Structure 1
């Protein structure tokens, strides 16, 4: 079959149309494909944006089915998104290790149902189990285009970081509020006045201490009335000073005085600008600190004045090792000049000055030695050294570190102390040697009864071993040893009592002990000034024997004295009776009663009477002298006027003076006065002196008798110009009757005049003094009271 051209044309047109349609269809398909790919890319981009957004959607349908991205499951701690809302607790998905808690899930379910029924939105917060993530859920009714049929759309936000920040901010805010409240309470309770001023200087806030200080009613009234605590100083008020601080943006601190509670107190006031808010201020009561400072200064001055009175040198150095004080002994010990204290040197420089003055020990390496001493500042304990100087001075130096980093240097001159120590050692050795050389045995006991010192004779007297005494035994052990040496061991208590009395009672006590070997020891406990007791022991065996002999001799002497007394008592009768008889018969013969006597008979009778008178005087002299030496001389008490008394004695011897061709010179006046005594015996004494002068004066010689009164005493001087006597003759002239050398017999010295005169004058309380020189004569001086 052949096709017509028309048919071919139509066929061509049809094919062309078909081709065009195919091309259009292909192009249209490509365009739709591009739009689809674009839509897919847009959907993926939107999905990705949703996945990356801070809020994830949770679509809950009416039947409880849910739609949510996998990321939400991860937030909830689930491996995949469950199908229903009730499965968000994770029990059906992974066994309950994630998801919401039962309570939160119930709350979410109720909120979703309420939204689906009422279209009311809701908000809640939830934390998945086992997670610290905080999720915020905001639900509302979903748009019909999203899900028709009343589904609920819940947006889930992860605000963990924000929640942490919020929690931190809440905590900070709570802490700030607490701190602010505490600060306000602290300011209110502060014991110091505190206030706050506005930028214009007006008071805005004050605390209770401020109110009490200004005696106000309350803080508000004080702030409103502007009552100032601080008075004007140098024309500036407290407000003006605060404005200066605010303008300069610098704190201002000053010391002022204010009246608080009726007392003037020292305050340290500070004004502190607080940016543009105003100025804060507070006042610290430093009155006690000022008092302490004044007391410290006074104490320091008193301490330094006291240190100046010490014999030890004291210097103080501060933390910079600078000399701050040195007392006078320190300056003297280290030879510091007065100009040195005007600019006190540091420690090292002070050692240099001391070295120049020769007041430190010689050191081979002085810089190293000085560095070692500088290390005392950092030492943990006091450092002490002994310095021996070139001039022989010995110093005890102590470096005392102070807590503030300084040091106190103490220097004590121990030269004299060491010398005294050496002297003491010498004295101790001398004491030991003296103890050992004593005739007595001695021992020293301490108050606790321990034996301290003893000499060698102590051990010998008591028969004790040296080894026993070297152990310094106590009293009990010593008494136990001594008791073995005694005749009566029980009497050893006397020795212990003497020791205890000396050491404890501080009283002296004596006693005697008889040893078994026949010796007798006398002991005494003597308290010593140092609190110890001294026991002295003396062997009195020989002296006791001598005492017995003396007692026997004394008994013999007493018997001899009794015999002498009896002799003197009978001698007067035995001598005077025959002499009186002789004299009486001689007087009878002289009177002619026996007949007329021849001239030669009368001469004999006269010679007998003269001899009787002379013998009577001699008997009286012997009796008076014997009684005077025996202390038995009786004295009469008569009133004697000395001038006529002496004159009568001289007149009685006028004949003897004339017969010897002797010139008598008598001087005297009433100034001699009167005295009470035995006229007869005192006349005999002075008469003997005149008789001796007459006998010693040659023919043509001269005798002086002078009577005077001197210083309440009467003085009688009888002198001659005879041959005089030497010292030996003068001594014999004054000797009278005395006990012989054998102690039993009595011997008589030649001449009784002077001895008797001396005895009689001394019996009247006077004195007799003889002055004589060969060729110059003799003078007897009598002084009577």
Structure 2
């Protein structure tokens, strides 16, 4: 038979497959053998491990049989494991389980066999301190027959002790934790806990309210911070730095709580590696109190600096903390003596300046003053100094152990007290020397002081006044001396008005002997009332005489008024008739007159004109003084008025060879509201006065213009533009006495004997001119020097 190549390939493949199968079978057998040997070794190791295991296995079959290791039997107190579960309680006190424990175990095992529910029990065998922990359940069929229960028994004696201790500690810790959590939650200040990275993990209710959140979870999830950044660092960064440096971090920051900016003292406390706890204390009120205290202290010290008394404050270390300016001045202390100076050294510096009393044992004296700090109450002393100064020193111990020292300079007070005694004696002597009867009543109505005239004026005995009687008693005794006893009540009312109502009253009373007394009740600054009494009997008689004379003057004034009313008609009518007849004679109606007759008629006309002018002057002056001068006001060109007056006197100027210079213009002088007739008369009198006083060949200056008003002392007035007329001459002038009499209405002689040809000044001219100018609201001023001439200055609105 011949094999084809294909058959040979197939045959080779079969042989190879057989060889591979044979090798695999050999290798598999070897592996199973090794596995069986390993399983045996593993079973032995597991069995040993179970023997040495801290947990021993107890198998309870469905019929109640049990299986367990000898070690488990020894735990239960048996030398060998009983066969049934019920035999674990054999009634002996030194082994097995108690009936209750056995019943509990039996019930748990039956429940596990029926329901496959596991259980945990803890039992203690009889006569043993061992504690066994049982953990049971339905056994795996591979471990025990079906329906069996397996119970792992642990020796938990040591663990149970530790567990009991730990349970107690846990319960206590839990209670403490709950109390701490409740305390933190109930705390009125915001508190929180952060992770090591600075993230919020726990906050209390105060924190939630402070940030305005709904609950703590929203705060933690949202990372809501209570405070803001400080120096560019967030609260988380500050907490992380405190965690890194392992030391607390405390700072004062501002935060907005409830819509208000509050100052908070924030503390971050590292808690090992767990995280950082923090809390914030609202110190806004403390800061306000601190600011208020600082402000109060500064205000107090500023106020103490204003005191006239010296004030110094020392702390509990007896060192100076404050001294006002009067204290430094009273003890002559310099800046070097005030810097944190002890009390004893301060006394030494004052002694060197001579500002403490001289004593024999200075050290003992200083030691006694140092005991002021421990005194129970205020100490007061008087220090007389060598220079005559008297100091009153008050030392008040403070509750903090310090001392408040107040020093008052009583030198002036003692001097004033001595002066007061002198003044009291002087007052008594002055009262007794007065021409008035004087008495002082206290607010309660008692008589305090009086002089001798008071007793004699009212006819009172000195013994009665020495008893300081009440005002009512005094008035009762005074009533007997009065012509009308009921007027005593008015005198008493005057005293009460001065003492109680603090107002001044007065009156008059008539005595029965004919005397008249005037009294006045005057309130005094010290609350007392002064009753002054003056005997006005003589003055009363003089008053009656003056009253009669005044009535006569009133009647004379009425006659003067009637005279002024009738003078115009009574005087002018005859003069008009005389002037009229003289003019008729001059015109030839009565026949031709001789040369001398015509001269007589001319003289009559001149006299009539002059007398008419004098009557006009007298009437105007009288009416002006009586306040009855009528003025017909109209716009008047002042320069034109003055120019006309000068032209009317051109003949006089030419006759005396005078140089009259009229300056001004209507444009500069302007117009004023005036009565042209009476104003012209006033200016004419001044001009005539100058013409009469200027000697032959003299010079007269008349200037009309406007200028700013001024006062007599040369200062600026109200700055108002006023019309001004100046009439000056170079006549003999007047001295001060003559100038003072210029407006009296009497003729004035020239003051210079060399002023030949200078006529007397007219008596009524100047008074009438002043009256007329003042009636126009203007002023007239005369300036004159002997030998220098006279100037009349008129100012008009």
User: Does 2:721 correspond to 1:688?
Assistant: no
Mark the CA change 1:547 to 1:406 in structure 2 (over 3 Å): closer, same or farther.
Answer: same
> What is the CA–CA distance in structure 2 between the aligned matches of 1:198 and 1:384, rounded to whole Å?
69
Mark the CA change 1:469 to 1:269 in structure 2 (over 3 Å): closer, same or farther.
Answer: farther
User: Does 2:608 correspond to 1:638?
Assistant: no
Segments of 5+ residues of structure 1 without an aligned counterpart are 1-195, 218-225, 242-252, 271-282, 739-748
User: Does 2:410 correspond to 1:414?
Assistant: yes
**TM-score between the two structures when normalised by the length of structure 1:** 0.60
Aligned residues: 548
> What is the CA–CA distance in structure 1 between the aligned matches of 2:268 and 2:699, rounded to whole Å?
118
Aligned residue for 2:781?
A: 769
2:673 pairs with one of 670, 676, 682? 676
Deviation at 1:553, TM superposition (A): 0.8
> What is the CA–CA distance in structure 2 between the aligned matches of 1:463 and 1:729, rounded to whole Å?
58
Matches within 5 A, 1:575-614: 575-614=571-610
1:719 pairs with one of 712, 720, 728? 728
Say which SS state the counterpart of residue 486 (structure 1) adopts. Answer: coil
Mark the CA change 1:543 to 1:638 in structure 2 (over 3 Å): closer, same or farther.
Answer: farther
More deviation, 654-663/466-475 = 466-475
Matches within 5 A, 1:212-223: 212-215=182-185
Mark the CA change 1:669 to 1:459 in structure 2 (over 3 Å): closer, same or farther.
Answer: farther
| Per-residue CA distance 1:102-152 (angstroms, 9 max, x = gap) | xxxxxxxxxxxxxxxxxxxxxxxxxxxxxxxxxxxxxxxxxxxxxxxxxxx
User: Does 2:533 correspond to 1:537?
Assistant: yes
Deviation at 1:657, TM superposition (A): 1.8
Matches within 5 A, 1:48-67: none
User: Does 2:303 correspond to 1:309?
Assistant: yes
| Per-residue CA distance 1:44-72 (angstroms, 9 max, x = gap) | xxxxxxxxxxxxxxxxxxxxxxxxxxxxx
| Per-residue CA distance 1:604-661 (angstroms, 9 max, x = gap) | 3222222222222222223323333333333333332211111111111112222222
Deviation at 1:389, TM superposition (A): 1.8
CA contact (8 A) 1:197 1:203 kept: no
Deviation at 1:427, TM superposition (A): 4.9
Aligned residue for 1:476?
A: 472
Mark the CA change 1:443 to 1:303 in structure 2 (over 3 Å): closer, same or farther.
Answer: farther
Aligned residue for 2:20?
A: none
CA contact (8 A) 2:784 2:791 kept: yes
Mark the CA change 1:618 to 1:339 in structure 2 (over 3 Å): closer, same or farther.
Answer: closer
CA contact (8 A) 1:696 1:723 kept: yes
> What is the CA–CA distance in structure 2 between the aligned matches of 1:356 and 1:684, rounded to whole Å?
89
1:206 pairs with one of 176, 182, 185? 176
User: Does 2:649 correspond to 1:653?
Assistant: yes
1:755 pairs with one of 761, 767, 773? 767
Task: Name the larger-Rg structure.
Answer: 1
Deviation at 1:395, TM superposition (A): 1.8
User: Does 2:500 correspond to 1:504?
Assistant: yes
User: Does 2:502 correspond to 1:490?
Assistant: no
Aligned residue for 1:705?
A: 702
> What is the CA–CA distance in structure 2 between the aligned matches of 1:720 and 1:335, rounded to whole Å?
74
Aligned residue for 1:322?
A: 318
Say which SS state the counterpart of residue 203 (structure 1) adopts. Answer: helix
Mark the CA change 1:539 to 1:674 in structure 2 (over 3 Å): closer, same or farther.
Answer: farther
Say which SS state the counterpart of residue 185 (structure 2) adopts. Answer: coil
CA contact (8 A) 1:304 1:327 kept: no
Segments of 5+ residues of structure 2 without an aligned counterpart are 1-165, 188-200, 208-235, 270-276, 709-720, 748-760
Mark the CA change 1:560 to 1:375 in structure 2 (over 3 Å): closer, same or farther.
Answer: same
RMSD, matched Cα: 4.7
CA contact (8 A) 1:398 1:410 kept: yes
Aligned residue for 1:32?
A: none
1:734 pairs with one of 743, 753, 773? 743
Mark the CA change 1:605 to 1:485 in structure 2 (over 3 Å): closer, same or farther.
Answer: same
Deviation at 1:479, TM superposition (A): 1.9
More deviation, 483-492/458-467 = 458-467
> What is the CA–CA distance in structure 2 between the aligned matches of 1:336 and 1:574, rounded to whole Å?
95
| Per-residue CA distance 1:426-460 (angstroms, 9 max, x = gap) | 55555555555554444333332233444444444
CA contact (8 A) 2:263 2:282 kept: no
> What is the CA–CA distance in structure 2 between the aligned matches of 1:728 and 1:318, rounded to whole Å?
80
Aligned residue for 1:190?
A: none
Matches within 5 A, 1:399-438: 399-402=395-398, 407-429=403-425, 431-438=427-434
| Per-residue CA distance 1:499-526 (angstroms, 9 max, x = gap) | 2223322333232222223222223333
**TM-score between the two structures when normalised by the length of structure 2:** 0.59
